[in-house]
């Protein structure tokens, strides 16, 4: 599954539109929707994976007939995605209800898709568990010039994972909501501060000693606005001064600061990725296709090992749950974990001068298992034991390390009551110096 394949299918779908318009929902499914599911890596010819007209045991009756979801996508026999289809000529507005009823009733489903073959709306549960959000966290329009097909690649068969999808959806949804909220509260060009903002400020510790009444709020609206404008001016002046300092001749203190910054960045480079410059703060984390390939191979290795049936202790529900492989991208590395990002097994740097994979292993445990053609890197803040790689395919040659790292993570998160201790595997093979 690749973005290029998705893009190629998207182009073919748009070419077919004149022949599909006006032909109804079934034509849309066959000519537009199923080809996209196929491009995402799902076996559309296998009804045990892409099940049409899915009807659950609890299906609600409507006018004497049970409601059905157009497609249920099952992974390893478990429903994970529901797809509700409409004709390509139809608007998708107002059609979330049935999809939400099914989503809310099937805890294993992590993604719901509403589509007319040209527009895809993606839903999940970023609020209460197993309660589908009323608004989609992402919308893809295949005919839009700026369509982000890279996002669709996250939902492919090879890399599908419930928690990363929820994390991604939460970030998209709440970043937009928080930005809109702050903009509405703090952009006071043509108005005074809102009552909520004034009450929040006056209610802060040590700010106002009296009772905050409606009259007090009205009196403080212009005062809060003036204070906010003063802060904004100070921030702008500080930013301009920083720019001026960069283009002016540096003094001794500036030279010392620059030298310190270089030292910090050089230290970060030993980990393979440099922290962003101050001017780059706020940079978005972009999960690349290459990183998803690392994830797909690692998950395949986990699924093919005896650990596939392992359980770990869920601290939030205080019970054992099946171990599931997920991923989380950061500015420092791409983490592959079990159930929670803190339960990491592998950390990957796929770009940079020296791509590497870090394993959740002690250095002395991993060294004997590294093939001679690979180089072991120095420990970093991200991983004590790291091996340089050229690409995702190298994970296959490092499969013993991958399996052992997953096993270590499983052992670390078994129930405390079991009294289990992680044993350091004994390896008869002599350690090889891979750093020469």
pLDDT digits (tens, 9 = 90+) for 24-69: 999 999 999 999 999 999 999 999 999 999 886 555 555 556 678 8
Examine residue 256 and state whether it is found in any structural domain, yes or no.
Answer: no
Question: Residue 313 domain-assigned?
Answer: yes
Note whether residue 143 is domain-resident: yes
Q: Average the pLDDT over each of 212-216, 267-271, 292-296 and give the range with the smallest value.
A: 267-271
203-212, 253-262, 284-293: least confidently modelled range: 253-262
DSSP class of residue 342?
Answer: T
Co-location of 47 and 165 in the same domain: yes
What is the extent of the structural domain holding 303? 289-412
Structural domain includes residue 273: no
Say whether both 140 and 215 belong to one domain. no
As for how many domains the chain has, the answer is: 3
d(CA 295, CA 325): 9
Token pair, residue 398, equals: 């490092």
- Do 211 and 323 lie in a common domain? no
Exposed/middle/buried for residue 430 (C-beta within 10 Å: 0-12, 13-18, 19+):
exposed
* Residue 20 clears pLDDT 60, i.e. is over it: yes
DSSP 8-state class, residue 193: P
* 271 within a domain of the structure (yes/no): no
Asked if 71 and 186 count as a contact pair (C-beta separation under 8 A), the reply is no
Q: Give 118's contacts (C-beta < 8 A, 6+ positions apart).
A: 13, 14, 17, 32, 88, 141, 142, 143
Rounded Cα distance, 36 and 71, in Å: 13
**pLDDT confidence of 406, banded at 50, 70, 90?**
very high
- Residue 424: inside a domain, yes or no? no
Taking residues 245-251, report their average pLDDT: 56
Question: What does the pLDDT average to over 342-346?
Answer: 93
Strand boundaries in 325-384, DSSP class E: 325-329, 334-338, 344-349, 356-359, 376-377
- pLDDT given at position 248: 56
Distance CA 155, CA 121 (A): 13
- Of 85-99, 111-125, 240-254, 271-285, give the lowest mean pLDDT range: 271-285
CATH number at residue 395: 3.90.1150
Q: Does one domain contain both 65 and 208?
A: no
Q: Would the pLDDT of 258 be above 50? A: no
- In this structure, the answer to whether residues 75 and 213 fall within a common structural domain is no
Average pLDDT, the chain: 83
Q: What pLDDT is attached to residue 334? A: 93
Q: How far apart are alpha carbons 151 and 363 in whole angstroms?
A: 36
Q: Is the domain of 51 the same as that of 85?
A: yes
56 and 169 together in one domain: yes
Could you tell me if 344 and 413 are in contact, meaning their C-beta atoms sit under 8 angstroms apart?
A: no
């Amino acid at each position: 599954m690749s973005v290029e394949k998705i893009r190629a299918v998207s182009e073919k779908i748009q070419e077919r539109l004149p022949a599909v318009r006006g032909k109804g929902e079934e034509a849309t499914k066959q000519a537009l929707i199923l080809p996209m599911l196929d491009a995402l890596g799902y076996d559309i010819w296998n009804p045990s994976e892409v099940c049409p007209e899915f009807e659950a045991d609890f299906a609600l009756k409507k006018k004497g007939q049970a409601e059905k979801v157009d497609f249920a996508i099952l992974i390893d026999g478990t429903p994970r995605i529901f797809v509700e289809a409409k004709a390509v000529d139809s608007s998708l507005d107002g059609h979330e209800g049935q999809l939400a009823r099914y989503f809310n009733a099937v805890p294993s489903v992590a993604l719901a898709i509403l589509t007319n073959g040209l527009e895809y709306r993606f839903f999940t549960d970023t609020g209460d568990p197993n309660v589908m959000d009323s608004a989609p966290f992402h919308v893809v329009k295949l005919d839009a010039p700026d369509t982000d097909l890279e996002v669709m690649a996250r939902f492919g068969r090879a890399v599908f994972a419930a928690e990363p999808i929820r994390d991604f959806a939460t970030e998209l949804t709440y970043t937009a909501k928080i930005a809109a909220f702050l903009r509405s509260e703090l952009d006071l060009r043509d108005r005074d501060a809102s009552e909520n903002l004034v009450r929040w400020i006056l209610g802060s510790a040590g700010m106002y000693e009296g009772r905050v009444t409606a009259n007090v709020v009205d009196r403080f609206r212009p005062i809060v606005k003036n204070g906010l404008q003063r802060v904004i001016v100070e921030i702008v002046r500080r930013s301009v001064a920083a720019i001026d300092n960069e283009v002016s001749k540096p003094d001794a203190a500036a030279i010392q600061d620059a030298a310190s910054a270089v030292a910090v960045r050089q230290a970060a480079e030993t980990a393979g990725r440099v922290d962003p410059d101050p001017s780059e703060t706020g940079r978005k984390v972009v999960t690349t296709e290459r990183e998803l390939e690392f994830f797909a191979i690692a998950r395949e290795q986990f699924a093919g090992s005896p650990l596939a049936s392992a359980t770990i202790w869920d601290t939030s529900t205080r019970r054992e749950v099946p171990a599931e492989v997920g991923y989380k991208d950061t500015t420092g590395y791409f983490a592959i974990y079990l159930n929670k990002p803190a339960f990491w097994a592998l950390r990957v740097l796929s770009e940079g001068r020296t791509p590497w994979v870090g394993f959740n292993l002690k250095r002395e445990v991993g060294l004997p298992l590294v093939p001679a053609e690979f180089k072991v890197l120095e420990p970093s803040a991200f991983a004590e034991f790291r091996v340089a790689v050229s690409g995702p395919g190298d994970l296959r040659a490092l499969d013993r390390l991958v399996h052992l790292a997953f096993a270590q993570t499983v052992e670390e998160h078994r129930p405390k009551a079991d009294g289990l201790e992680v044993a350091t595997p004994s390896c008869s093979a002599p350690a090889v110096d891979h750093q020469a």
